[in-house]
Amino acid sequence: MSAPAHVPVLCDTSVSLLRPAPGRRFVDGTFGLGGHARRLLDAGAEVLGLDLDPDAVAACRALAVEKPSLRCRAISFRKMGEALAREGWPAVDGILLDLGVSSPQLDVPGKGFTYREDGPLDLRFDRQTGDSAAVLVARLDATALADLLWRYGEERRSRRIARAIVEAGEREPIATTARLRDVVAGVVGGGPRLNATLSRVFQALRIAVNDELEALRSALQAVPGCLAPGGRLVVISYHSLEDRIVKHWLSDASRDCLCPPEVPVCACSHRRTMNVLSRRAVRPDEEELADNPRARSARLRAGEKVS
């Protein structure tokens, strides 16, 4: 059975907010298979595609043959300022960050992102950098692993699951997704509860091995310096941890003072750099969800650099 086609999430909304046109430049910080980038390119814009996944970089370079206004870099979006400097672009008119795991990453067992098929317990976007999830799990004790599962997966059974993982790993290293799935199933049983728990466990491990939340924070801090006045940021997140970071950053970036209310005179010297375009997160409508059920957890937030 073939894998479902990759469908870019909230694509119409993203493109509408970014306003691509000939002569305008954009960063797609999470290129994936290029669904969003293609729409920007079709409108005549130039796009710099960034990604750490070698398959995504290959897809970017393949599309660049068809679309010469596309440029590609194998680099994390947290280093978008460095990527722009290499291209000789002083600033761009828009930045898109789609923080989800792409369908090919989920559907190819060999990448180790899915608990539904057996594969190596890896979870790294760039398999040449850092430790795999298998190495991380083997290194942590039960207390540290429980903290990780709670902090990054908001998993209520984090202590029980962590103990089971560590005990199983002492008998034999947990090197595959199927083995980890079996260990977690031994704690929570089967059925819908198991799938929900596995989603949180795999999310937590993926965030940890890729340092995803710090990468997001670093990228957001770089955004004002990368956007031209009036340039726009669009971020699509898929869980509350990411969405909370984006929401709070946009709120802070849109204020002239971050001092607490009890401080009568501003002492922080903070100045507004962004205007918030989405007071509430934009969610996929029912029509999009019917076409792409994986979009159900998506939340979009946007901002515009002050002129």
Q: Do 120 and 204 reside in the same domain of the chain?
A: yes
**In this structure, is residue 4 part of a structural domain?**
no
**How many whole angstroms separate alpha carbon 65 and alpha carbon 52?**
20
Dist CA 201 CA 148 (whole Å): 9
Identify which of 260, 223, 119 has the alpha carbon closest to the alpha carbon of residue 179.
Answer: 119
Helices 158-171, 177-188: axis angle to 10 degrees equals 130
Q: Supply the pLDDT for residue 104.
A: 63
- Tell me the C-alpha distance between 206 and 111, whole Å: 12
pLDDT tens per residue across span 54-105: 999 999 999 999 999 999 999 999 999 999 999 999 999 999 999 988 666 6
Q: How many domains does the chain have?
A: 2
Q: Are residues 128 and 99 in the same domain?
A: no
Q: Which residue reads 């990780």 in tokens?
A: 148
Residue with tokens 């290129």: 31
Report the CATH number that the domain containing residue 166 is assigned in CATH: 1.10.150.170
Instruction: Tell me, yes or no, whether 216 and 95 share the same domain.
Output: yes
Considering the domain architecture, whether residues 224 and 94 belong to the same structural domain is answered as yes
Q: Where are the alpha helices (H) located in 211-266, listed in sequence order? A: 212-226, 240-253
Distance of CA 54 to the CA centre of its chain: 16
Task: Give residues with Cβ within 8 angstroms of 129, minimum separation 6.
Answer: 52
- Burial of residue 265 (CB within 10 Å: 0-12, 13-18, 19+) is exposed
CATH classification at residue 17: 3.40.50.150
222 is a domain residue: yes
Whether 305 shows a pLDDT value over 80: the answer reads yes
Compute CA distances 184 → 48, 52, 104, 115, whole Å: 40, 29, 24, 11
210 vs 228: CA distance, rounded Å? 29
Please tell me the predicted confidence (pLDDT) of residue 2: 40
177: how many CB neighbours lie within 10 A of its CB? 26
Same structural domain for residues 242 and 96?
yes
pLDDT of residue 156: 96
pLDDT at 105: 63
CA dist., res. 205 & res. 200, Å (int) = 9
109 found inside a domain: no
- On whether both 81 and 130 belong to a single domain, the answer is no
Residue 117 confidence (pLDDT): 86
Together in a domain, 165 and 291: no
Residues 155 and 95 in one domain: no
Exposure on the CB side of residue 33, measured as CA atoms within 13 A:
13
Residue 2 falls inside a structural domain? no
Q: Is residue 261 in a domain? A: yes
Domain boundary among 166, 195, 210: 210
Question: Residue 10's pLDDT band (boundaries 50, 70, 90)?
Answer: very high
42 lies in the same domain as 96: yes
| Domain termination site, one of 181, 210, 239 | 210
Q: Which domain holds residue 267?
A: 11-104+212-305
Task: Report the candidate in 212, 237, 259 with the shortest Cα–Cα distance to residue 96.
Answer: 237
**Cα 246 from chain centre:** 11
Domain boundary pick from 210, 235, 259: 210
269 and 190 in a common domain: no
pLDDT tens track for 240-258: 999 999 999 999 999 988 8
Q: Does 84 share its domain with 128? A: no
What is the rounded average pLDDT for all residues in the chain? 93
Give pLDDT, residue 279.
Answer: 87
Question: pLDDT band at residue 3, thresholds of 50, 70 and 90?
Answer: very low
Residue type, 208: A
- The answer on 153 and 67 residing in a single domain is no
Answer whether residue 6 is part of any domain. Answer: no
Identify the weakest region by mean pLDDT among 95-99, 114-118, 277-281. 114-118
Query: Mapping DSSP to helix (H, G, I), strand (E, B) and coil, where does residue 285 land?
Result: coil
What is the pTM (predicted TM-score) of this model?
A: 0.91
How far is it, in rounded angstroms, from Cα 236 to Cα 2? 27
Residue 99: count other Cβ atoms within 10 Å of its Cβ.
22
